[in-house]
Structure 1
Amino acid sequence: MSEPGGVVAGSRAELSSLLGEVGWSVSRLVHEVNREMGAGYVSRTTASEWVNCSRVPRQPLPTVVAHVLSQAASRVIAANCLWPGVAGSAEWVSADVGTQVSWDLHGMKALINDWLGSGGTVFDGDRRSFMAISGAALTAPAWEYVKSIGAAPLRMSSSGLFGASSFSRGKFTPATMEYFTVLIAAFRKMDDLEGGSTENLRHIREAILQATHYLRVGSFSDAKLPGELLGALAQLSQIAGWMAYDADFHGLAQRHFRVGLQAAHSVGEQNLGAHILACMSYQAVYLGKLEDAKELADAAAKASFKAHPAVRSLVSSRVAYVKACDGNESGFRSAINESKKYLGGSDGKGDFPSYLYWYSPAELDVQCGQSLLTLSLASNKKSSKLVSEAEKLLLSKVASAETDRPRDSLFHSAWLARAHVKRGELHRGLAVAEGAVRRAPAVASARSRKVLGDLDKDLTHLRGDRHLPEVRELRSQLRLALAT
């Protein structure tokens, strides 16, 4: 899709200067803008006209360009600094706008009011588009959360967070709480089966608005219910953040994670807080922000110090993944061994936090295998041995035709196929890829489907082998699967 709208005359000097300051080419600028706007939204030719021909795009592109350059330069750059006379868009905002709040009742109220006050009536969707952040804007709240651990949870009564109100409408009872409990389980199942999608995000967004609406103006039949609902909001926010990340809405994901972190802190849910920080670290790796990922993983490890052993195990596995992405094999193996130790020290899944229903020794093996694949691509040493080790750990996930988590099976299968192809083990890669292609039509996950797209690119870069009939057939199947 090409850039919408016309253009007006502007100044090219500032944009060109800033690209030089952050060390970006025009192609890199296009990549960063399309990460926010969607693949193919802006072409290199269009961006070159901004730089070389003093042409200015219509909104929201000036705002998005200013934002991605601000993140790269670690300072605020306004749209009118790039193109004089162009105002920023009110609908395209940084993921952290309005989230610089205190870690107390006032801060929680502010975040609830923000969700409810930005979309018109209570069940309207938020009309803002959130742009991903990095650096201190992302990591500082994580460390603030860690420092706040140990503070007493918010004290609430049947009047809720906001106190009694003559505008209260809607009685919140134990049956209503059960409704939200069922919703949480349903959304987790939806994520396992399909992954993130615009439609699924719309559903969970409505549930979050319902929860925040009750917290703001509801009348509670029992003093414990406001805290239980706030805990449900923390879980819904974590699921929504993961879904948004999976769907490539990264600014929205970061915002959901931030709200979830605040809600978890408000009810003293240290286990969930550490889990959310680990999710944020995992997302930062995907976005290529390795330094942010390291900081967030460190924060998660500190936050999990007194957490449930299963949570400590999961956090350590995320630390291991970051080490693998950094090419640090010894650090990876140390962290994964620590993860196994914590999981072995738990009392079994019966006492696991409900949101770790999916975590087990077998799942830890899968995560270890995925980290080994990443390590094999980040390191030039022993790569074939690492892929072989990873394949053994991933076999249960990629070989079974039946799975209760097809999104994850697709993701890991596609990665394993890529690793084989890159190591020159073409036919092993093709065999694994066939299973991934079969799963693709049922999965909405943009993150998983992107790995299939990367596999297709890998196959195009083969020399003589790309003309083999089996390669051409698989590429045809890949393109068909990605088009659905």
Structure 2
Amino acid sequence: MINEKRQRFGLYLAGLRRDARKSQRQLAELLCHISGTASLTRHEISRWERGERIPDVWISSLSEALDVPLQTLERAAAHARGEDFPPEAPSPAEALSYFLPEDVELGPLASSTGRRVGTSTAVALADRAHGLRLGDDVIASRDLLAPAFRELDGAVQLYRETTHSEQTGRSLLGSIGEIAQITGWIASDAGQHDQAARAYRLGISAAREAGDLALVGHLAGSLAYQLTNTGHEEDGLSLARAALEEAGPDAPPKARALYLDRVAWANTKAGNAQPAMRALAQAHEAMDEEGSREAPDWAYWVSPEELNVMDARVYTELHKPLRAVPLLQEVLSRYDSTRTRELALYLSWLAVALVDANEPEEAASTARRMLDLSARFPSDRTAKRGRVVLTKLEPYRDVPEVREVLDTYAA
């Protein structure tokens, strides 16, 4: 049985590798180059990320390959081995510390009100924003919610209670916007939609003041996505369109692809099939322009595979399973298994599409896998999708495989 601390460390390494935009094979090749040996394969990387082994002798090379401070990796590895930590499993706050650098204090600043901050503080705050994004990949939203709001409050306090140059101020405001976006996303995933909306609106205000129109579009689109998925389809569609317009035609291609995906989804939920399909096509056109302009850090996860998933979701919602099923199966065949929540969500769409394709046995098998993953990584989104899947399976109760799933997961 894999030790839970090692498993957490493995998830952490997987997040760092994804952030560096490297496959397991590419990371293995880079580590061999750095260390001057050819003895490492992607299978060993996979063992590390599953928590089966701790890469003790490779820590220094990993630090260089992933551009992570050596001390940070050594501390995380020590945690995984159980050294200098309490014997019980790490708390969410301890797990979060893997992702948030400790070189800047964002606590109360009453004793130093008016102190001047510069580029190093702005960079440190940006690191904390990215740390939250990495944490969201592997920590359940209900555990991450309170720490995320503390980060947001601390960032706002830092900006308000210090002095800084105009350029540093814009950078701080941009980081506030990014922290607000991921905090809103975490709150929404925890089912705290009012808190999420407040975070998104704060972020929009900060991003506008920073002059970062691409980030404004990301925040507005995130709120639009929440509205679309919580019964406010027309409001969601209006805001998704506004987000695209606010960002403007000069937004980075990858960001435009994300905005267009949200427009497509909002149109789908509002029952507008043709506009949804047009927006999907435009999203792919935008992604094809990738490389013409550097994407912002917050768009690191947007990829052709993610666009394919959105295509499949739209096809599923429009009851076009023959188009949805192959897309989802192809993406899921190589999807990163450490991203538990996203994997569960994508499996839920595949299960629904398989029902529509009159494949109840395969749908039941997919549903079982999805529901097992959801139990391991609690999320309001996966819980709702689980109920949708079970409801979709109910008319096929007479099929033994379906009946077993319904009886097992009815609660």
Is 1:341 the counterpart of 2:285? The answer is yes
Is 1:445 the counterpart of 2:379? The answer is yes
Please say which of residues 188-197 and 258-267 is displaced more in the overlay. Answer: 188-197
Question: Does the Cα contact within 8 Å between 2:261 and 2:307 map onto a contact in 1?
Answer: yes
Is 1:172 the counterpart of 2:106? The answer is no
**1:162-201 matched pairs, under 5 angstroms:** 168=113, 172-194=117-139, 196-197=141-142, 199-201=143-145
CA distance in 2, matches of 1:401, 1:290: 29
For 1:315, which of 259, 283, 289 is the aligned residue? 259
Structure 2 letter corresponding to 1:178: V
Give the drift of 1:223: 5.0
**Match of residue 475 from structure 1:** 406
TM-score after normalising by structure 2: 0.67
Question: Does the Cα contact within 8 Å between 1:284 and 1:292 map onto a contact in 2?
Answer: yes
Post-superposition Cα deviations, 1:120-139, rounded to whole Å, max 9, x if no partner, equal xxxxxxxxxxxxxxxxxxxx
Query: Which of the pair has more CA radius of gyration?
Result: 1
**Match of residue 263 from structure 1:** 206
CA distance in 2, matches of 1:260, 1:396: 36
Give the drift of 1:171: 5.6
CA distance in 2, matches of 1:264, 1:195: 27
Give the drift of 1:359: 0.7
Secondary structure, counterpart of 2:211 in structure 1: coil
Post-superposition Cα deviations, 1:336-369, rounded to whole Å, max 9, x if no partner, equal 1111111112216x81111000011121111111
Give the drift of 1:269: 0.4
TM-score after normalising by structure 1: 0.58
Secondary structure, counterpart of 2:141 in structure 1: coil
Is 1:203 the counterpart of 2:137? The answer is no
Post-superposition Cα deviations, 1:358-398, rounded to whole Å, max 9, x if no partner, equal 0111211111111111222xxxxxxxxx1121122222443
> CA RMSD, aligned part only?
2.4
Secondary structure, counterpart of 1:414 in structure 2: helix
Give the drift of 1:170: 5.9
CA distance in 2, matches of 1:410, 1:325: 21
Q: Which structure 1 residue ranges, 4+ long, deviate > 6 Å from structure 2?
A: none
Question: Does the Cα contact within 8 Å between 2:177 and 2:203 map onto a contact in 1?
Answer: yes
Please say which of residues 450-459 and 226-235 is displaced more in the overlay. Answer: 450-459
**Match of residue 190 from structure 2:** 247
Question: Does the Cα contact within 8 Å between 2:347 and 2:370 map onto a contact in 1?
Answer: yes
Structure 2 letter corresponding to 1:455: V
Give the drift of 1:468: 4.3
CA distance in 2, matches of 1:389, 1:244: 33
Question: Does the Cα contact within 8 Å between 1:234 and 1:260 map onto a contact in 2?
Answer: yes
Higher relative helix content: 2
Question: Does the Cα contact within 8 Å between 1:193 and 1:406 map onto a contact in 2?
Answer: yes
**Match of residue 457 from structure 1:** 391
Aligned residues: 301
CA distance in 2, matches of 1:401, 1:317: 20
**Match of residue 332 from structure 1:** 276
CA distance in 2, matches of 1:443, 1:190: 13
Question: Does the Cα contact within 8 Å between 1:194 and 1:406 map onto a contact in 2?
Answer: no
Question: Does the Cα contact within 8 Å between 1:437 and 1:477 map onto a contact in 2?
Answer: no
Structure 1 letter corresponding to 2:188: Y
CA distance in 2, matches of 1:345, 1:401: 24
**Match of residue 432 from structure 1:** 366
Structure 1 letter corresponding to 2:257: S
CA distance in 2, matches of 1:300, 1:173: 31
Give the drift of 1:167: 6.5
Give the drift of 1:169: 6.1
Structure 2 letter corresponding to 1:426: P
Structure 2 letter corresponding to 1:425: E
Question: Does the Cα contact within 8 Å between 1:196 and 1:247 map onto a contact in 2?
Answer: yes
**Match of residue 81 from structure 2:** none
**1:3-152 matched pairs, under 5 angstroms:** none
CA distance in 2, matches of 1:242, 1:269: 19
CA distance in 2, matches of 1:423, 1:293: 29
Question: Does the Cα contact within 8 Å between 2:252 and 2:294 map onto a contact in 1?
Answer: no
CA distance in 2, matches of 1:232, 1:226: 10
Uncovered stretches (5+) of structure 1, i.e. residues with no partner: 1-164, 377-385
Identity of aligned residues (%): 26
**Match of residue 389 from structure 1:** 323
CA distance in 2, matches of 1:174, 1:314: 30
CA distance in 1, matches of 2:382, 2:370: 10
Post-superposition Cα deviations, 1:126-177, rounded to whole Å, max 9, x if no partner, equal xxxxxxxxxxxxxxxxxxxxxxxxxxxxxxxxxxxxxxx9961666344433
Give the drift of 1:235: 0.3
CA distance in 2, matches of 1:327, 1:209: 39
Secondary structure, counterpart of 1:403 in structure 2: coil
Post-superposition Cα deviations, 1:2-36, rounded to whole Å, max 9, x if no partner, equal xxxxxxxxxxxxxxxxxxxxxxxxxxxxxxxxxxx
Structure 1 letter corresponding to 2:403: R
Question: Does the Cα contact within 8 Å between 2:191 and 2:380 map onto a contact in 1?
Answer: yes
Question: Does the Cα contact within 8 Å between 2:240 and 2:263 map onto a contact in 1?
Answer: yes
Give the drift of 1:226: 2.2
Change in Cα spacing, 1:347 to 1:389, as seen in structure 2 (3 Å) is same
CA distance in 2, matches of 1:211, 1:251: 20
For 2:300, which of 335, 357, 362 is the aligned residue? 357
CA distance in 2, matches of 1:334, 1:401: 26
Question: Does the Cα contact within 8 Å between 1:373 and 1:390 map onto a contact in 2?
Answer: yes
